[in-house]
Chain A
Amino acid sequence: MAAYEPVIGLEVHVQLATASKLFCGCPTTFGAPANSQTCPVCLGLPGTLPVLNERAFEWGIRVALAFDCAVQPTMKFDRKQYFYPDLPKGYQISQYDQPLAQRGHLDIVVGEQTKRIGIHRIHMEEDAGKLLHDPHATASYVDFNRAGVPLLEIVSEPEMRAPEEAYQYLTELKAVLSYLDVSTCNMEEGSLRCDANVSLRPAGTTPFGAKVEIKNLNSFKAVKAAIEYEMVRQAEALDRGERIVQETRLWDAKAQTTESMRSKEGASDYRYFPEPDLVPFVIDAAHVKAVAAKLPELPAKRRARLAQQYQLPAYDASVLTQHRRLVEVFEQAVAQYGKAKPVANWVMVELMAYCNARQRDPDEITLQPVWLVHLLQAIDNATISGKMAKELFVESIEQQVDPQQIIEAKGLRQIVDTSELEKVAEDVLADNPKSVEAFRGGKQNALMFLVGQCMQRTKGKANPQSMMEILKRKLTESKEVAS
């Protein structure tokens, strides 16, 4: 394996979350009943004509600029022709030789290094419908709801050299797109799709080996796994003296392998020609400038700023910037709270843990920054324990209520009155003579048990630290008394 170097390129299709489709007024929402979001245009009925969605046009330019691409001064659409039941007109309106943008890049972080991955081109095209297959029937079915939804195809240069780089590329790409707020970027729903191109060449050489395209990848993890598998498959084949067949293979998520597609029709002749039903689109320098001026602060820049402004380690800055919501919560909370590191920890650890456990996208969580501030302040002034705070945090998000309110409503304030704590300690000691014996006999964990009993009795409102100290004192006092 060490004898070969992988050459990896990614083709990503992003669905733009415009209200209506690229060339007609049908809605684009996911999950609607079959064929309920169609019209004569996107069904390709005879006599219908496409008209470009101006928001898709604007967003396309934004995305192009976010990846530092050169925007095409005059872009046009072309017909890409092939026959398939999910393609209503027998051609897809796409872009061939004058695409929206070219020659951009995306910087990724792998370990400690930053690496620049070139973006070859970005173009706009309409999505196809969906085919459904019934394994028991002799028929297939077509739903055209998705036909005509706007897509941006982002093609990278083949400059990735490891599966992890591909993973980072996708993560960063998704972050940029979520900052721009142009797509739901959801691989499960299909608003973000990825095909990977993998070839091997002997390490240190320049010519490219035969390229294999991998389709049917459903997650970033799958992309990485598929590339890893393919690298091994190709290396073993090359080691056996075989030639790699240039082909398209499908990722089988169950078997964790790539498989050759069953039928091969040979290279397709798409017979591209300029779309006569659409006029060209001029994007002049002034327009580009105006769009550039309105771009939000993008992830890479934000990372650098966070590290510098809040004195955060690169890793923290990286995790925080992955999701736009996260970083907004962070910055607003710090603004009110004052200290960055505790807020960073809470966001990175507690919030992310919550999202992962509940399978929720951080960008979908509503967490008011002030809630986090109140939580941290409550810990600081010992109103609640750290443990209680974690529980409150979850409850706060689920109930959409300020933790302060929950504390008051449930009377969760820690008991700080030492006389009260003393009373509790005395009661517990009285009720648990065996544990007292055990502790005096040298068993330290008996103390932990007693602390636990105190916590139970106070419904968690006792400060465990104080409890432990009071118990210890009482135990040693009485010991002295006893002896």
Chain B
Amino acid sequence: MAVLGEQDVQHVARLARLAIPPAALSPFAQQLNEILDYVRQLQSVPTQGVGPTSHPLSLSNVMRPDLVQPSTVAQDVLAEAPARHGQLFKVPKIIDV
């Protein structure tokens, strides 16, 4: 398994929309590699025929009826939004339409 280099950290940071200053890339990579080294021991555990546990409870088919329950929280949220334009949330212009 690959060891994380600065470019890998850069790539993953972009996927996660996190700006990491260039000076921090190397120490970050180092810390992450230590952790990855540690978790890599999982690969030595024999798991053939073992199913994954996504949910600790074995529940299934939890649903709700198709009923309308109106909510007016949008007003409260818009009132505190970082930027708004009337009843809309505002963000920097998106170029690729």
Residues of A within 8 A of B (CB): 18-20, 24-27, 33-36, 38-40, 43, 45, 51-57, 74, 76, 83, 85, 131-133, 137-144, 261-263, 269, 271, 274, 276, 278-282
Contacts and interface: CB of A to CB of B under 8 A. Distances in A.
> Which of A34, A138, A276, A281 counts the most chain B CB atoms within 10 A?
A34
Closest 3 CB pairs of A and B: A25-B69, A39-B71, A55-B66
A139 B85 contact: yes
Chain B facing A: main interface SS: loop
Contact of A35 (B70, B78, B91): B78
A85 B64 contact: no
A280 B66 contact: no
Given A20-B68, A26-B69, A269-B15, 18 more contacts: A20-B69, A24-B69, A27-B68, A27-B70, A34-B86, A36-B74, A38-B74, A51-B63, A52-B63, A54-B65, A55-B65, A83-B17, A139-B92, A139-B93, A143-B88, A278-B62, A279-B57, A281-B60
A133 B97 contact: yes
- Chain A interface helix/strand/loop/mixed: loop
A115 B93 CA distance: 46
A38 B66 contact: no
B71 A19 contact: no
Interface residues of B, number: 36
Interface in B10-68: 15, 17, 54-55, 57, 59-68
B88 A276 contact: no
Contacts of A142: 88-91
30 contacts: A18-B66, A19-B66, A19-B67, A20-B67, A20-B68, A25-B64, A25-B70, A26-B71, A27-B70, A35-B78, A35-B89, A36-B74, A39-B71, A43-B73, A51-B64, A54-B64, A83-B17, A85-B91, A131-B94, A138-B92, A140-B92, A141-B85, A141-B88, A141-B90, A142-B88, A142-B89, A278-B62, A279-B61, A279-B62, A282-B60
Nearest to B52: A274
Given A40-B71, A51-B64, A53-B63, A45 B90 contact: no
